[in-house]
Structure 1
Amino acid sequence: MSTDPSASRRKAPIERAAEITRAAREIALDEGLSALTLRAVASRIGVTPALVSHYQPSMDSLVASTFGAIVAAEIGEVAEELAPCETAVAALQTLIDTLLGPERSTVTAVWLDAWSLGRRHPALAVEVGVQMDAWQAFLAVLLNTGCARGEFRAIDPDAVAWQLLAIIDGLNAHAIVRYGHARRLRGLVRTVAEHELGLRSGALGPGDDSGRRPEPDHPPAPITVPVC
């Protein structure tokens, strides 16, 4: 139970609602979405479950909105990291390095929770779809911008965005359960991206984090992709 002396004092509704929202986010990031319960939120801020229920009568809705807020914040953070990049190639390289870095593991765990819990919670399932679309749109804008500038060549940049996100999500999911190492497999994502976007080999960085690109067993076939 929280020992914060301000927790039990009477607060304005907007202040109490914000406190509950903040506590829900902290619980989700610290312990996972499955730990986000009425009692857990109440304990975190030092109030009764009944008070939390007054402000959040539906825990399913709170779980969904908490997940949405966490993912939306992540997109904003990544956008800030990409802002200084002067080219679409540099921005894509930064995005791959960022999303497959250990710094994002906490949010990756929240994503895994959402995919699993969403099977039984319709509100969460809807929010997962919304946020997956938001990520795809974010990456698609980057790829389409690169095509418009002549940096990338792809038939369908929107489809490539889905493809890259699927690979990144899969590698991160493996890493969460300590199967493989997402950072060491960045080269796989880079290689796929280079192929799908008509980039020269190595344009997005080395094949692995050792700075060495593994040699293929056979020479790669030339890539012929029409300009967007």
Structure 2
Amino acid sequence: MTRGFGRLRREDLLKAACEVIAELGFGRTRAQDIARAAGVSQALLFYHFDTKERLFAQAFAYAARQHLDVLAEIERSTRPPLDRLRTFLKRCSPTTGADGWRLWIDAWAESMRTPDLEETSRRLDLQGRSVLRGIIEAGVASGVFTCPDPDAATWRLFALCDGLAIQVNVHSRVLTRRRVAELVRTAAAAELGLAAEQL
């Protein structure tokens, strides 16, 4: 097996693992389920990952890297703060990527018992808050936003998005996606001294 093929195969296995875990959850997913979805033997799966726990941790880390890439792209952007805020809210909305949100929600629960998942989850949350706080601080500095405490505003907006994501994915008929988007827009506008229509 060439090194390039090995990397490709490993990435395929992690992608399949994320899809299966998002559908079945960490608690109900077996190595056999992931092997079947990836079209490989369990032996090959364990050749790459040694244990099911290591596979789960690396699958979550793989999913986290995809999200961290999105955050890095927003952070590097030279567009005005209001445009970056709109992009951030759209890309991190509780209404987008149901499979991704199911994986995160399940990983949060599993993180209470699995240190590797907790570390990855915490790192992802920290990076997300850092990017949003940076956008808010840039908006305040340029006079576009009014916000006396960007750190507190960041925590409140993250808590709202996380909580709404749980409602949308666990209790799917409680709120429409349109209502969720409106709640996030209204809260962000109130935190930053904007009109909701600006978002």
Query: In structure 2, which of residues 11, 19, 25 is the aligned counterpart of residue 21 of structure 1?
Result: 11
User: Which residue is 2:161 aligned to?
Assistant: 168
User: Which residue is 2:175 aligned to?
Assistant: 180
SS at match of 1:150: coil
- Taking the TM superposition and a 5 Å limit, the aligned residue runs for 1:34-53 are 34=26, 36-53=29-46
> Conserved in 2, the CA contact under 8 Å of 1:82 and 1:94?
no
* Residue identity opposite 2:187 in structure 1: V
Alpha-carbon distance between aligned partners in 2 of 1:76 and 1:133, rounded to the nearest angstrom: 14
User: Which residue is 1:204 aligned to?
Assistant: 198
Q: Alpha-carbon deviations, 1:175-210, whole Å to 9, x = none?
A: 1120312432222222222222233x33534xxxxx
Task: State TM-score, norm by structure 2.
Answer: 0.80
> Conserved in 1, the CA contact under 8 Å of 2:64 and 2:120?
no
2:36 maps to 1:64: no
* Residue identity opposite 1:65 in structure 2: Q
Alpha-carbon distance between aligned partners in 2 of 1:105 and 1:152, rounded to the nearest angstrom: 30
2:90 maps to 1:97: yes
Alpha-carbon distance between aligned partners in 2 of 1:39 and 1:14, rounded to the nearest angstrom: 25
Q: Alpha-carbon deviations, 1:20-43, whole Å to 9, x = none?
A: 332232232355252654323333
Alpha-carbon distance between aligned partners in 2 of 1:131 and 1:82, rounded to the nearest angstrom: 14
SS at match of 1:180: coil
List alignment gaps of at least 5 residues for structure 1. 1-10, 206-228
User: Which residue is 1:189 aligned to?
Assistant: 184
Q: Alpha-carbon deviations, 1:131-158, whole Å to 9, x = none?
A: 1111111211211221221212222212
* Residue identity opposite 2:161 in structure 1: I
* Residue identity opposite 1:115 in structure 2: W
> Conserved in 2, the CA contact under 8 Å of 1:36 and 1:63?
no
Q: Alpha-carbon deviations, 1:152-172, whole Å to 9, x = none?
A: 222221221121111011111
Please say which of residues 21-30 and 174-183 is displaced more in the overlay.
21-30
Alpha-carbon distance between aligned partners in 2 of 1:131 and 1:186, rounded to the nearest angstrom: 22
- Taking the TM superposition and a 5 Å limit, the aligned residue runs for 1:152-167 are 152-167=145-160
Alpha-carbon distance between aligned partners in 1 of 2:77 and 2:11, rounded to the nearest angstrom: 32
SS at match of 1:125: helix
The structural deviation recorded for 1:174 is 0.6
Structure with more contact order per residue of length (Cα contacts < 8 Å, sep ≥ 6): 2
Alpha-carbon distance between aligned partners in 2 of 1:61 and 1:134, rounded to the nearest angstrom: 23
CA 1:103–1:82: 2 relative to 1, 3 Å: farther
CA 1:158–1:72: 2 relative to 1, 3 Å: farther
List alignment gaps of at least 5 residues for structure 2. none
User: Which structure has the larger Rg over C-alpha atoms?
Assistant: 1
